[in-house]
Amino acid sequence: MSASLDKPTVLVIDDSEMITCLVSSFLEPAGYAVVTANCGADGLNVVTTIRPAAVICDFTMPGMSGLAVLDRLRRNAGTCDVPFILLVNGLEQLPHQSTNQPYDIIEKPFRPSRLVEAVWRVTGTGYAPW
């Protein structure tokens, strides 16, 4: 779970190990260190420990949804400004009204370039995907 000191760190929160490995395989060559958590509660603990450049979080997870994670981050003065990207299985699953909005929403399945571009856009770091 250690992050590189010379690369921007992205926290990926997803209950699917396949997704966390896939996201890591896209972001690491683009210049990011990736730390993963397999549930919202673990992800919240990691955020306060490492203060990542961005968080990528699955919408649907057991225990705590991605929107619940986002809400907790926004209510904490130390994490309220961390860029947050939400991964969804379909845009129709999102509520129309939400107090807190993610910086970006990416629908699964996604292209590697779409993911890297979203992270680059919210962090301004790493390698531009073009």
3-state secondary structure (DSSP) of residue 42? helix
Average confidence score pLDDT of the chain: 89
Q: What is the pLDDT of residue 103?
A: 85
Q: What is the pLDDT of residue 125?
A: 80
Tally of domains in the chain: 1
The tokens describing 109, both together, are 């399945």
For residues 63 and 7, what is the distance between their CA atoms, to the nearest angstrom? Answer: 31
For residues 35 and 64, what is the distance between their CA atoms, to the nearest angstrom? Answer: 19
Q: Is 128 inside a domain boundary?
A: no
In terms of DSSP bridges, do strands 9-13 and 33-37 run parallel, antiparallel, or are they unpaired?
A: parallel
pLDDT digits (tens, 9 = 90+) for 75-123: 999 999 999 999 998 766 666 555 667 888 999 999 999 999 999 999 9
Full domain range(s) for residue 16: 9-123
Q: Is 86 inside a domain boundary?
A: yes
Chain-centre distance for alpha carbon 112: 14
Q: What is the mean pLDDT of residues 16-20?
A: 96
Query: What is the CATH number for 108?
Result: 3.40.50.2300
3-state secondary structure (DSSP) of residue 82? coil
